[in-house]
Structure 1
Amino acid sequence: MNEIELENRLKSLETVQYAIWFHDIIYNPKSHDNEELSLEEFKKFQLESQSVQLNQISDDIQLMIISTKNHIKTSHDISMDLNYFLDMDLSILGTSTEQYQTYSESIRKEYIHIDIDKYRQGRSSILKGFIQHGINGLYRTPEFRDTYGQKSLENLQSEINKLTT
């Protein structure tokens, strides 16, 4: 899915674009408050911009940014724009085997400071959590479930197998 394909489905393309730009603006694999720090960066930007239009969509942007912390636990009923945004954020899980492998390897590099056995245990636990929720738990919209759902489950299971053997 790309922006052009989603443009007509989104209530506010601008809101989603801001959320995309800011949701990982602060990212430190050793930190547990990246989303909160990213949210603070957005708030600084908002304050500095003094944009009336940005102020009108700020609450939605902030919700999107903070919702990336707990994708699966966030209510599906908040807004379709939030659902599409969170689906876009997880779409990497349903890419080709090669793309997913590259992604998986980059995650390990980000967490190289973690002992390999602890990494394998922690990462496989996270991935199993995704699988337990199934396609409907991973992706909130039919478009993303249909496009990425099955391949996501295959990629996740493949990585779990590698981590646990």
Structure 2
Amino acid sequence: MNSLILEYLWRDLCEKYTADQELITTTFADLQEHYTAKGRHYHTLTHIRTMLSSAISHEEMIRDKDAFLFAIFFHDIIYKATAKDNEEKSAEKAVKFLKKIEFWEDEIAEVERLILATKSHPLQNNTPDTDLLLDLDLEVLGAAPEVYQEYSNNIRKEYAIYPDLLYKPGRKKVLLHFLDMPFIYRTELFRDKLEAAARENLNNELATL
């Protein structure tokens, strides 16, 4: 999925709710600016395109498609390696925009909830859409070894401010968090397809720390 298709999907989604072309254009430019900011190596437009492409491929699993797609577009718009409130700020930007286009209030709350779920990755009390969104967000963990290695390298670049002495223990904690879960993927489809590969990739990276 290239940038033109990404913009087309954005416009097609927004035009269901607003005729304000300037708002649609300026907000997409804002999304692009954030996702291409200096210091971004993994949490980029490529990540958004990958998630959107996978969402379209699994469209039959999504109950609330428009809220789901808006959540993908906004879920990492704010991302700073040193911050602890990226998801909250990303959700705030989403809510602000969605109110401008008069998206339904309960749907705005759904987008906010989906984005915030990407912070804690809760194991319980999830909706099917939450489970799928989290699986798409973590799909790279079960990718081919060379793709996972590129992901791991890019995450390290995003945390370049930290020396190995600080980065490695923190990264190890993250990896163990996922490995200690009863399962990494929430949907049966992704679990069957990617769980074993994800655990192998995580263990291989863990061995290097």
Is 1:65 the counterpart of 2:112? The answer is: no
TM-score, structure 2 normalization:
0.71
Instruction: Name structure 1 gaps, 5 residues minimum.
Output: none
Aligned-partner residue type, residue 150 of structure 1: A
Three-state SS of the structure 2 residue aligned to 1:24 is: coil
Report how many aligned residue pairs link the two structures: 157
Q: CA–CA distance in 1 between the matches of 2:59 and 2:103?
A: 23
Is 1:114 the counterpart of 2:162? The answer is: yes
- 2:90 matched residue in structure 1: 38
Is 1:25 the counterpart of 2:71? The answer is: no
Is 1:103 the counterpart of 2:189? The answer is: no
Q: CA–CA distance in 1 between the matches of 2:56 and 2:167?
A: 37
Q: CA–CA distance in 1 between the matches of 2:95 and 2:67?
A: 14
Is 1:146 the counterpart of 2:205? The answer is: no
Kept in 1: contact 2:114–2:133 (CA 8 A): yes
Tell me the percent identity. 35
Query: Segments of 4+ in structure 1 off by > 6 A?
Result: none
How big is the shift at 1:104? 0.3
Aligned-partner residue type, residue 76 of structure 2: D
Aligned-partner residue type, residue 98 of structure 2: Q
- 2:12 matched residue in structure 1: none
Three-state SS of the structure 2 residue aligned to 1:37 is: helix
Of stretches 143-152 and 56-65 in structure 1, the one that deviates more from structure 2 is 56-65
CA RMSD across the alignment = 1.4
Instruction: Name structure 2 gaps, 5 residues minimum.
Output: 1-52
